[in-house]
Structure formats: C-alpha cells, structure tokens
A and B are shown apart, each in its own frame.
Chain A
Amino acid sequence: KAGVTQTPRYLIKTRGQQVTLSCSPISGHRSVSWYQQTPGQGLQFLFEYFSETQRNKGNFPGRFSGRQFSNSRSEMNVSTLELGDSALYLCASSSIPGQGNYGYTFGSGTRLTVV
C-alpha cells in the first residue's frame, strides 16, 4: 500500500510570507502527526490530529497551525515566516494502539528554506 505522501518536497519562501504543507496518510490511518527537524533542535513535535481533532500540541508559537480533513489528509500552515523556521517538516501517520501493525510511518518530508 502507498506510504505517507508529503507535498511539496522543497520550498523556498521569503521572511514574512506564509506557507502550507500537505500530508496524505496511509490509507486507513486516522492519526497524523507533524514534526520539525533542525540541526540545532533535532526532532520536535508540532501537533497531532485524529479524526479532524487536534489531540496534542507541542511548544511552538501560534504561527504554526494545522488541520485535518475528513479523509484524514492534513495540512500545516506557518504564517509570518522567520529565518529560524527553515527546517525539514515531517509528517507521520499511525493506526490505533493495540493493532498488530501499530507504529508511526513517516513521509519523506518537506524541506522549507526561508530567505
């Protein structure tokens, strides 16, 4: 079955602009999480959605937001971009804990560069 699909793979934006990243989970997975990866801070949790509801949120400013649609696809938005937002943004989808194949499957990521 198809894996987690993130689009676009690469983005270059200017400070002050906003950006929207997209994630399509594995078919049947209802949980989608977002992570930011930078050389300095490593992998940090942004937020997690399940059935269109945000269940958990990391310690990021309000400029970072997300949503999930009824088909489980998710988007994250970053407004008023700063140079420090340059990072690899990773999306992961998961099934329900207790299922034999439970685990987090990651997409290839979106590399965002802010100039």
Chain B
Amino acid sequence: AQSVTQLGSHVSVSEGALVLLRCNYSSSVPPYLFWYVQYPNQGLQLLLKYTSAATLVKGINGFEAEFKKSETSFHLTKPSAHMSDAAEYFCAALNFGNEKLTFGTGTRLTIIP
C-alpha cells in the first residue's frame, strides 16, 4: 500500500529564508502527487500537483516542488518565506485507478520574524 512520509513535523524558518518541506512516497510506480496547505479552522488548499508532466512544478504563492523518481521524493520549496506562509502543509499521493489520497502526517511551518 502507498505511504507518504513527511520528514519533520515542525519546521521553523526566518522570514526571507528558504523554505524546504520534505516528502517521500513509497510506491514503485510514480503516483500523482499533491501539496496542500491548511490554515487554522480551514480546509485544505491545493498548492501544486504533479501529474507526470513536468518534473518541476510551480504552484501558488511562490511555492514549487520537484519530482525525483530516483529518490521517490517531491519536496516543496519557496525561496523566501513570508509571515503569511505559517500554516500546516500536507503532501499526498494518488495511485492510478485508486481514487484515494494518501496523506503524510503534515509539517507545521513557523516563520520567525
């Protein structure tokens, strides 16, 4: 069964610094991959998705992620953190023919002024 691992349940970065949130998936067949952000008392907002087209995916709010099959990874980055980026981030995988998202445990991002 597919599993998604997010290294680091809490990440703190200074405002203006690089944001790097890690995500690894387990399946041998590359799935579709998604990054979502969740603000307190809100649902999940899609940041970006990989659906087997370009390996470098650009999303909203300046975020991007690179799919690396050899590393089974889909890490999320942003060159310069902003205070408004403070939230919880979830990586999710969807395997073909299985309409079910498998989520990682989430990473809470804190921005230090």
Contact = CB atoms under 8 A, between A and B. Distances in A.
Interface of A: 4, 6, 31, 33, 35, 42-43, 45, 48, 50, 55-56, 58, 90, 92, 94, 97, 102-109, 111
Contact of B100 (A4, A48, A108): A48
B34 A103 contact: yes
A56 B35 CA distance: 22
Contacts, number: 57
B103 A43 contact: yes
B30 to A, nearest CB: 14
A contacts with B: majority SS: strand
Interface residues of B, number: 23
A56 B1 CA distance: 14
Interface string B63-98: 000000000000000000000000000101010101
A102 B101 contact: no
Nearest to B98: A56
Given A33-B99, A106-B36, A90 B43 contact: yes
Given A56-B98, A102-B51, A103-B34, A42 B46 contact: no
Given A42-B103, A106-B45, 20 more contacts: A4-B43, A33-B99, A33-B100, A35-B103, A45-B101, A50-B99, A56-B100, A90-B43, A92-B101, A94-B99, A97-B96, A102-B51, A103-B46, A104-B92, A104-B101, A106-B36, A107-B43, A108-B42, A108-B43, A109-B42
